[in-house]
Amino acid sequence: MNSKYLNVGSPSLRIPVEVVALLSALQLREPNSTCLKGLSDTEWSKLLAFCDLAHLTLALAQLPSEGFPVWVVERLNTNLIDNTRRFKRVKNTYKEAAEALSTAGVEHIAIKGFTQCPDYVEFPGLRMQSDLDLYCPVGMIEPARTALEAIGYKPAKGTAGKRTDHTSAMVRLGDWKWSGNHYDPEMPLSIELHFCFWNEPASLLSIPGVDNFWERRTTRNLEGISFSCLSHIDQLGYLTLHILRNVLSRDWVIHHVRELAFFLHTHTNDDVFWATWSETHDASMRSLEAIAFYYARNWFNCTLHQQVQKEIENIPPKQQQWLQRFVGSALEVMFHQNKDSVWLHSSLLQSFEDKRILFTRFFVPSSISSVTTPGMKVQNRRTRLPGRLHPYIQYFAYLVARCTSYSYVNLAAIVRGLSWRLRCRIEQERRA
């Protein structure tokens, strides 16, 4: 591919050929769709399934489609039409929820979703949105939940954990049933109530200044709706920290990184924005944001303002060396488990106790799914194929596979991490 920063097609990265082709076509400088046009129907089917899960289908649909199979073009056009219609439901759902919260005296701001337009995604219809993310101060969470329950929403079980920054998703399904269409205009939206911008107890990492996001909130208008949201500066901060959080937790980040790359690319010459950003966010926060900038540049080859380039260059040496070696790990993790991020995470922590807790979380087995839990039936965002064997035989096979995989992934992470640490030490001694 054309990116000079990351050779996604390298054999050392275990990424399917169809995804390599997609990434090459999505480069913001020198995009190349040649490999996409050479995909077989089977590879296209795999790519479309991946894009639906990775929230990249609508980005794919914006590429020049000359040379794509007719059925692929038809499918992408249908997704665009459906998602444009779906935004009407998004607007109506938000208006209803916002009115209920306002009536209950609950202040909130909308985060993510349609608030990413137009800076990170040009039009709302070009962004997939399956839920509403609303932030409320901690003291307003219970009144907010009560207000939403009053209009028919109910908490869904198993949609929030100890390390999430939101309460259980609230749903109101009615008579709707899943038909396999991720862009179904009739699909209801769930609502997630966020109680923090950065979960310090979960991440073990303190980021002074994030609480000021709430104080700097603003009001915007988009496509006929008025809403409170983060300031332009803090919206960038929240997105970059969200990318960092997902990298550290080994969650999928690719569509967030793509949106960030679009923002960086289209704001390369915005001197006023970057001057204000550097004045508003202190050096410690900017250093963490720069990690996300590094991903955007290396994955999607976007142009950068000189201030952004400076922040990337100022990333501490240990994290720089980790990024140089493992920037592709967050792509690999979508297809093959790895725990490379634990070493980046540990390099960000100061106390020995926090590092001990972190390594315990990563390398000591946690609870194992029971026979009927979703964890036993879902892997890597995909539903496991139903088997004909007795459920307990399937469960035994699951346990064996999980233990084997767990041991291999742990060993690989330790070996790769120690190798990285050794290189860091050698480089440090060389500079000395």
pLDDT for 342 equals 93
pLDDT for 400 equals 47
Return the SS3 of 425: helix
220 and 294 inside one domain:
no
Asked whether residue 270 is domain-assigned, the answer is yes
217 and 244 inside one domain:
no
Return the SS3 of 113: helix
Full domain range(s) for residue 242:
236-370
Asked whether residue 262 is domain-assigned, the answer is yes
241 and 331 inside one domain:
yes
Query: φ and ψ at 338, to 5 degrees?
Result: -155, 160
pLDDT in tens, 276-321: 999 999 999 999 999 999 999 999 999 999 999 999 999 999 899 9
Asked whether residue 225 is domain-assigned, the answer is yes
Strand 225-229 to strand 218-222: parallel, antiparallel, or no bridges (unpaired)?
antiparallel
300 and 340 inside one domain:
yes
Q: What's the half-sphere exposure (Cβ side, CA atoms, 13 Å) at 320? A: 11
Asked whether residue 424 is domain-assigned, the answer is no
223 and 249 inside one domain:
no
194 and 262 inside one domain:
no
Asked whether residue 215 is domain-assigned, the answer is yes
115 and 215 inside one domain:
yes
200 and 275 inside one domain:
no
133 and 167 inside one domain:
yes
Asked whether residue 197 is domain-assigned, the answer is yes
pLDDT for 369 equals 46
256 and 205 inside one domain:
no
Instruction: Please say whether the beta carbons of 217 and 109 come within 8 A.
Output: yes
Q: Which of 200, 230, 260 is the last residue of a domain?
A: 230
Q: Which two tokens stand for residue 266?
A: 């289209």
pLDDT for 387 equals 52
Asked whether residue 325 is domain-assigned, the answer is yes
Q: Which of 323, 349, 370 is the last residue of a domain?
A: 370
**CATH classification of the domain holding 130:** 3.30.460.40
Instruction: Please say whether the beta carbons of 61 and 39 come within 8 A.
Output: no
Identity of the amino acid at 387 = G
DSSP secondary structure string for all residues of 349-368:
--SHHHHHHHHHHHHS--PP
The closest alpha carbon to 50, from 15, 82, 80, 14, belongs to 15
How many structural domains is the chain composed of? 2
189 and 225 inside one domain:
yes
pLDDT for 175 equals 86
Low-confidence ranges of the chain (pLDDT < 70): 1-12, 158-163, 365-409, 413, 417, 426-429, 431-432
Token pair 């709707």: residue: 176
CA–CA gap between residue 387 and residue 241 (Å, rounded): 40
pLDDT for 158 equals 63
Asked whether residue 416 is domain-assigned, the answer is no
241 and 225 inside one domain:
no
Q: Which of 230, 265, 300 is the last residue of a domain?
A: 230
pLDDT in tens, 230-273: 999 999 999 999 999 999 999 999 999 999 999 999 999 999 99
Q: Where is 133: in which H helix or E strand?
A: strand 131-135
